[in-house]
């Protein structure tokens, strides 16, 4: 799953999230005025998205700090998921594609 960041530049964050969802965007996380959105916006909602947000460039995580707040941990997790190592590891895991319920039943 490809994820990208959008920074809200106009409007109340909760209202912007609701508008994006109504237009078919899948908002995975919200960190204040920054949103993690699944995939690239569909062409029919791109104009709507750009009225309220701007794309944010993010460097992949190289090293995690020794201490971090809950919000920082969530941000670091997003950055980690952008690394090639994470994506490759996820695709090669033994349980790839299995139902989570079945995985937990075996534990």
Q: For the segment 5-15, what is each residue's pLDDT rounded down to a tens digit?
A: 788 888 888 88
Interval 72-104: pLDDT, tens: 777 778 777 777 777 787 777 777 777 778 777
**pLDDT of res. 41:** 64
List pLDDT tens digits, range 36-85. 888 766 666 677 777 777 777 666 566 667 777 777 777 778 777 777 77
**Strand duo 53-56 + 3-8: pairing:** antiparallel
Closest CA to 82 of 45, 54, 56: 56
> Measured between alpha carbons, how far is 50 from 53 in angstroms, rounded to an integer?
5
Using DSSP's 3-state secondary structure scheme, residue 55 falls into: strand
Does this model's pTM top 0.75? My answer is no
Query: What's the confidence (pLDDT) of residue 35?
Result: 82
**Helix 43-52 and helix 13-22: axis angle, to 10°?**
170
Helix or strand or coil: residue 89?
A: helix
């Amino acid at each position: 799953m490809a994820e990208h960041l959008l920074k809200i530049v106009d409007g109340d964050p909760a209202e912007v999230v609701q508008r994006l969802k109504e237009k078919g965007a899948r908002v995975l996380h919200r960190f204040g005025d920054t949103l993690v959105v699944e995939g690239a916006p569909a062409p029919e909602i791109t104009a709507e998205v750009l009225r309220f947000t701007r794309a944010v460039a993010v460097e992949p995580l190289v090293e995690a700090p020794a201490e971090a707040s809950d919000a920082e941990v969530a941000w670091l997790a997003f950055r980690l998921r952008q690394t090639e190592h994470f994506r490759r590891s996820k695709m090669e895991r033994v349980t790839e594609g299995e139902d989570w319920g079945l995985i937990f039943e075996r534990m």
